[in-house]
Amino acid sequence: MKLLCWKTAVSPPPAPWMNCCSPRPPCANCGSKKWRTNNMSSMELLKNELFVAEMPAVSGLHFRGFQGESDYPHMVAIINGSQEADQSEMLASVEEVATDYAHLTNCDPTTDMIFAEVNGDVVGYGRCWWNDQVDGSIAYGFFAHLLPEWRETGIRLAMVHFLKKRLRQIAADHPAEKEKTFVNWGMQAETNWTNLLLAEGHKIVRYGLDMVRPNLDNIPDCPVPAGIEVRRGTLAEWRQIWEGAREAFRDHWGMQEWTETNFAAWSEYPTFNPDLWQIAWAGDEVVGGVLNFIDKKENETFERLRGYTETIFVRRPWRGQGVAKALIARSFQVLKEAGMTEAALGVDAENLSGALHLYRKMGFAEVKRHMTFHKPL
């Protein structure tokens, strides 16, 4: 169980999991107004050339910083251009990237990103950020995307070293007594990326699973406990539902603090659809929920009819009573009525709540595996 399906966030999750035309609030990381392409002076763009100490011997290669919204199509092309090599189903669009980058937390893209160009063509990019964890530690994350044809050149490693150096600069201003860890993610099939992390001394500390129920036939009859009703939340109740999920997920391994920035971004993702939700209530109190969604673009690309039963949560007082099972069964019915023929979700393979066992009982089977990597800062 998690906030966002791994494939829904353009940046690593959460992410997974934004108006580019309206004035922006102060950046949480630097206190200044967030970047806007049309506010960048020619001098700022000239300064955007980045010095990278370990410059690979690639003719025509140079590194630069983020140049605003004009970089979004380049980022989308790199993500989607890596799909086949990485056996990934993560699809990106300019709209999703804009949504993601308008609500970044503890990340200023003008200082915390790097782009690689060869003869003027963008071939890769990376970003770094940090998050306060529920356990009191600080996680420092980064990724470096690179088109497959350039992966044996040292470009990706150079970007990683740049981002790690930047994170160490940021961490130097954080409390010395805090535990500080590099945290990264990778799909098992992303061997170039995961091998790079392992070679850099990052260790696999956790596995996650992508699971699919291949059909929506034989949906089990799982009644909700007495005193609980199931209904979709109204617009006025979105905050209450979000707070209920935030409370429930604090018990999960490796969870970061959910912020107001996360809440602001939540309803702006293209797949956000409260009409599909199944929320359990005890009177006016949120018991638990499943925030189902359908990714129409993904379904068109892969020629399937899949719905996601994600953000499955039950608050502590109601756990162990069959609430999650009942909500998942109802979710199958909702997705079936919406024309879907299969359901999918992601889960921490070592979830202590018994989620993996429940999902298997509900007909889900593992289709992909991903890993979480840690390395002390």
**The whole model's pTM is what?**
0.80
Centre a 10 Å sphere on the Cβ of residue 370 and count the other Cβ atoms it contains: 21
Does residue 34 register a pLDDT over 50?
A: no
- CB distance 344 to 306 below 8 Å: yes
Q: For residue 262, how many other CB atoms are within 10 A of its CB?
A: 19
Which structural domains are found in the chain, ordered by start? 37-207 (3.40.630.30), 211-369 (3.40.630.30)
Owner of token pair 């380049």: 74
Q: 29 pLDDT band (50/70/90 cuts)? A: very low
Q: What DSSP string describes 65-122?
A: ---GGGGHHHHHHHHHHTHHHHT------HHHHHHHHHT-SS--HHHHEEEEEETTEE
pLDDT one-digit tens code per residue, 222-243: 999 999 999 988 888 999 999 8
User: Over 80: is that where the pLDDT of 22 sits?
Assistant: no
The Cα 222–Cα 331 span in angstroms is: 11
Question: Which pLDDT score, from 0 to 100, does residue 48 have?
Answer: 61
Q: Starting at the edge strand that comes first in sequence, how are the strands of the sheet with 285-290 ordered?
A: 229-231, 278-282, 285-290, 313-314
Residue 291 clears pLDDT 90, i.e. is over it? yes
* Contact (CB, 8 A) for 103 and 264: yes
- DSSP designation for 256: B
Cα–Cα distance, 38 to 28 (Å, whole number) = 21
> Would you tell me how many other CB atoms lie within 10 Å of the CB of residue 296?
11
Of the pLDDT bands very low, low, confident and very high (cuts 50, 70, 90), residue 264 is confident
Structure tokens at 257: 């603090």
CB–CB of 202/373 below 8 Å? yes
Core vs surface per residue 189-201: b (16+ CB within 10 A) or e: ebeebbebbeeee
What does residue 189 show for φ and ψ, rounded to 5 degrees? -80, -10
**Cβ contacts of 262 within 8 Å, gap of 6 or more:** 3, 14, 17, 103, 105
Res 341: pLDDT: 98
Asked if residue 324 lies in contact with residue 334, where contact means CB atoms within 8 angstroms, the answer is no
Strand partners, 229: 281
**Structure confidence at residue 262 (pLDDT):** 78
Question: Could you give the C-alpha distances from 18 to 24, 98, 143, in angstroms and in order?
Answer: 10, 6, 21
Closest CA to 256 of 345, 165, 357, 185: 185
pLDDT above 90 covers what percent of the chain?
69
Which of 91, 95, 93 has its CA nearest to residue 82?
91
- Identify the weakest region by mean pLDDT among 216-225, 242-251, 274-283: 242-251
Closest-CA residue to 44 (of 69, 63, 67, 21): 67
DSSP character at residue 303: T
Check residue 303 and give left, alpha or beta (phi > 0: left; psi -120 to 50: alpha). Answer: left
Beta carbons of 245 and 281 less than 8 angstroms apart: no
8 A C-beta contact, residue 127 and residue 163: yes
Q: How far apart are CA 164 and CA 157, in angstroms?
A: 10
The answer to whether residue 340 scores a pLDDT higher than 70 is yes
